[in-house]
Copies of this chain bind each other. A is one copy, B any other.
Amino acid sequence: MNHTSFIPASWDVEIQSRVTTISALLANNGVDAIRVFAGFTYITASGEVMYFVRRPIGFDDAPYVHYIRKPEMIPALLPECPKRLALKLDVTTVSEYRRLQNVFPEAEIVDSSAMMRAVRSVKSPFEQELLKVCGKHHEAAYRAIPSVFRPGMTDLQFQIEIERLLRQEGCLGLFRVQGGSMELFMGNILVGDNADSPTPYDFAMGGAGVDASLPVGASGELIAEGKTVMVDACGNFNGYMTDQTRCFCLGAVSDIAQKAHRVSIDINHRIAQFGEGTPAKALYEMACAMVEENGLLDYFMGYSQKAGFIGHGLGIEINEAPVLAPRSKDVLQAGNVVAVEPKFVIPGVGAVGIENTYIVRQNHMECITNAPEELLQLG
């Protein structure tokens, strides 16, 4: 087990650099202050930061940390009240918003969602380092997956052993996602035709789940001869997450499944040749063109129901910017971190394809999830 502490000596520097970035944006947008996340972090356009907390947060003696029982106590602690206050309105509830409106009756409240989404999509060298550490642990756990397979297992039984491998490798387990469109326990393990069961969530692949109380993923399907097992399990090792999918099979699987898996690997390798400045939409179109050339469009991103994207940004949440989708307006920037997941569902066989996490560089993407990509035999 390897539970290194990831708070580095350079933590102060990292925080200062984030504050500088955000304050510059506030100043450019004529905003006085911002609240960053649930809890109260207060950053001014001139670069001060104050934390208003109800409970200890680990650096409690610092002069910029203030204990409050309720947000109504904040104005008295501020040198001056903001005239324009930015909140992330995509995560602030109406109840919280109304309360803060009463706390700052003079302030115009503006929405910082888009700005913060953009800031968060470019990862600093510090964040990239955490993501690389994550990818190494993720890879180590995935390499051990075949060793926990036993003949006769169901998807759920296999999944429980894979979860244990990940936890033993230091995985926090928690899968953080923004908004109400997705929830998942520790990952998605899909066997055979369960891969074609639709789900109400916004994931690339579905799965029926055990029952309606969590309708996604493993459903009790036996891992039988000729079926594939797609493993897309949680890579949260330090608060940052990598996303990595690998596929396994039992016995021989159909030619079309093998071909589709190969095309998914090829798409990943091809996309990795592009760097900053590439429109996200162009990568989506290129992937579709490669799939069409190979006559596999019917199976691409689902069979009965199709997902509308082939990749997404990620970091502290699984659904960050940019998005690789047909109507995406995102253009890749150096420091973006993107999961690329061109996947296929082959009826009677199961899901195939891989997913890697990449850091966008000037002229290419650096892959940080390096478990073997081929379709591996189980048992």
Q: Which of A301-326 contact B (CB under 8 A)?
A: 305
What residues on B are CB-neighbors of A55 within 8 Å? Answer: 198-201, 305
Chain A 33-72, CB-CB to B under 8 Å as 1, else 0, gives 0000011000000000000011111100000000000000
| Majority secondary structure of chain A interface residues (helix, strand, loop or mixed) | loop
Query: Is A82 located at the chain interface by the 8 A CB criterion?
Result: no
* Cross-interface CB contact of A160 among B6, B7, B164, B236, cutoff 8 Å: B164
Q: Which of A156-200 contact B (CB under 8 A)?
A: 156-157, 160, 163-164, 167-168, 170, 172-174, 176, 179-181, 183-186, 198-200
What residues on B are CB-neighbors of A39 within 8 Å? Answer: 180, 200
Q: Could you tell me the distance in whole angstroms from the C-beta of A218 to the nearest C-beta in chain B?
A: 10
What residues on B are CB-neighbors of A173 within 8 Å? Answer: 163, 185-186
Query: Is A9 located at the chain interface by the 8 A CB criterion?
Result: no
Copies in the complex: 2
What residues on B are CB-neighbors of A78 within 8 Å? Answer: none
* Cross-interface CB contact of A6 among B38, B180, B211, cutoff 8 Å: B211
Query: Is A144 located at the chain interface by the 8 A CB criterion?
Result: no
Q: Could you tell me the distance in whole angstroms from the C-beta of A361 to the nearest C-beta in chain B?
A: 25
* Cross-interface CB contact of A56 among B6, B200, B240, cutoff 8 Å: B200
Query: Is A94 located at the chain interface by the 8 A CB criterion?
Result: yes
What residues on B are CB-neighbors of A28 within 8 Å? Answer: none
Query: Is A328 located at the chain interface by the 8 A CB criterion?
Result: no
Query: Is A92 located at the chain interface by the 8 A CB criterion?
Result: yes
B90, A53: Cβ atoms under 8 Å? no
B164, A168: Cβ atoms under 8 Å? no
* Cross-interface CB contact of A94 among B94, B180, B211, B305, cutoff 8 Å: B94
* Cross-interface CB contact of A57 among B90, B200, B210, cutoff 8 Å: B200
What residues on B are CB-neighbors of A6 within 8 Å? Answer: 211-213
Given A3-B210, A213-B172, A305-B56: A113 and B90 interface contact (C-beta under 8 Å): no
What residues on B are CB-neighbors of A95 within 8 Å? Answer: 89-90, 111, 113
B163, A174: Cβ atoms under 8 Å? no
A240→B214 CA distance, assembly (Å): 11
What residues on B are CB-neighbors of A87 within 8 Å? Answer: 94
Query: Is A279 located at the chain interface by the 8 A CB criterion?
Result: no
Q: Which A residues have a C-beta under 8 Å from some C-beta of B?
A: 1, 3, 5-7, 38-39, 53-58, 87, 89-95, 97-98, 111, 113, 154, 156-157, 160, 163-164, 167-168, 170, 172-174, 176, 179-181, 183-186, 198-201, 210-215, 220, 236, 238-240, 305
CB pairs A–B below 8 angstroms (20 shown): A1-B154, A1-B156, A1-B157, A5-B210, A5-B211, A6-B211, A6-B213, A7-B211, A55-B199, A57-B200, A58-B215, A91-B180, A93-B93, A94-B94, A94-B97, A163-B167, A173-B185, A174-B185, A211-B238, A212-B239
